[in-house]
Amino acid sequence: MNKDVSDSDLRSLRTHDQQPNRIASITQKFEETFGSLPTFVASAPGRVNLIGEHTDYNDGYVFPVAIDKYINIAARQRTDRHVTLHAPDVNDSWKFDLDALPSIPQQAPAWSHYLIGVASLLQASGRKVTGIDAVITGDVPIGAGLSSSAALSVSATLAFLTAPSELEAPMEALVSESDKKELAALCQRVEHEFAGVNCGIMDQMISLLGRENHGLFLDCRSLEYEHIPLNLAGHYITICNTKVKRELATSEYNKRRAECERGVEILRKWISGISSLRDIALTDFKKHEEELPMLTQKRCRYVIEENTRVLDAVSVLKAHNQQITKKTDEALIQFGRLMNASHNGLRDDYEVSCKELDLLTDIARSITGVIGSRMTGAGFGGCTVSIVHKDALETFQTRVKKEYHEQIGIEPEIYLCRVGDGAQVFWSTELS
């Protein structure tokens, strides 16, 4: 939303589902491109992480939610082995042959690498993959740290799995709950092997497993998870986009990962049986942190403290769900403090924030009714996430836009988000 929030906006947010509009729009674009209707639309959401940043690739804990912004792929099966893709949002197209995989031609656009990677790994896993015609659109902001790439990989995975199906079955019949973990790992491999980003598995898991009005408490080692209700008591999840391109995010991400691994290697001399920072208690770390180079020490400290914050945050929400009135307010305030501490650690120890992210969090925290604010995503730009009481939303938007523009010269984008479901498939009978 780019205007101040009124009561009618809030009613619309609660009652109006944009799903029919986005499905109708991509169906029309498919018909304009290929001359007939698609057989189905595969849709996967972006995400925002409320707490637990840069812990996933350290086998730690995270707590993301799926947001009501999606990458959608309208598709139909072809009779040959060719894949024809059209991406109207970037005015680009690409074709490839399933029998020529896994090679990627040098001239292939970056966005196509995700679909080539998905098709390659699905075939290698023994799953049936057929040619498709497809149109790809979405409203997950690219480069904002809201996981547009994971949403693209997940929606592509569902498209390739759905195309050979002869039955218009619900997605649950095509992809079981246990399949979702396997497919999340496959989509993670796409990032590693076809996009060159050594990401963790959080983004793919939440895109597949998100549940409306719930956060996903995920153990990134075991992939065990729990849906935690988000009874936010009149508060809303508000995302602010710095509109700063995350040019350093990929290279610095890989450096942070390497520093964490280096810390584990050194600390094994004093702490036995550890394979990642997840295994190190904060008390044990403090006993031996001086053995680490200063930079490595800061990176490790942040991750170990952040894992503790995630566990504390989930405990707070669980207690919140069992309490009412004043105790509920106290629980939310505690959750917000953990969010603030998370950003401070990302800024000072992990050093993945930037002046624009810090400014947005500072403005947010100065507004009565904001219980917590932090950067979210890889960092060096992208977005912040704040939890804002409905009575403060108008003030929040006005002040954030004004003060950020005064100091940075850019008007930030502000998204008031619903917490939505994970990936879905809509069949032709649902598209009319």
pLDDT, average across residues 86-93? 96
Please give the structure tokens belonging to residue 101: 């995989």
pLDDT, average across residues 265-289? 96
d(CA 204, CA 184): 5
d(CA 365, CA 367): 5
Q: Set out the domains of the chain in order of their start, with CATH numbers.
A: 17-228+425-430 (3.30.230.10), 235-417 (3.30.70.890)
pLDDT, average across residues 227-239? 89
Half-sphere exposure of 401 (CA within 13 A, CB side): 15
Render pLDDT for 163-197 as a digit per residue (tens, 0 to 9). 998 666 667 667 878 899 999 999 999 999 999 88
pLDDT, average across residues 113-138? 97
Render pLDDT for 353-396 as a digit per residue (tens, 0 to 9). 999 999 999 999 999 999 999 999 888 888 999 999 999 999 99
Render pLDDT for 316-333 as a digit per residue (tens, 0 to 9). 888 866 655 455 577 888
What is the average pLDDT value for the chain, to the nearest integer?
Answer: 90
Q: Which of 39-53, 204-218, 226-240, 390-404 has the lowest mean pLDDT?
A: 226-240
Q: What is the pLDDT of residue 430?
A: 66
pTM of the full predicted structure? 0.89
Could you confirm whether 203 is annotated as catalytic? yes
Of the candidates 68, 133, 203, 279, the residue annotated as catalytic is 203
Cβ-contact 386, 241 below 8 angstroms: no
d(CA 267, CA 286): 11
Buried b (16+ CB within 10 A) or exposed e, 51-66: bbbbbbbbbbbbbbbb
Render pLDDT for 141-161 as a digit per residue (tens, 0 to 9). 887 778 899 999 999 999 999
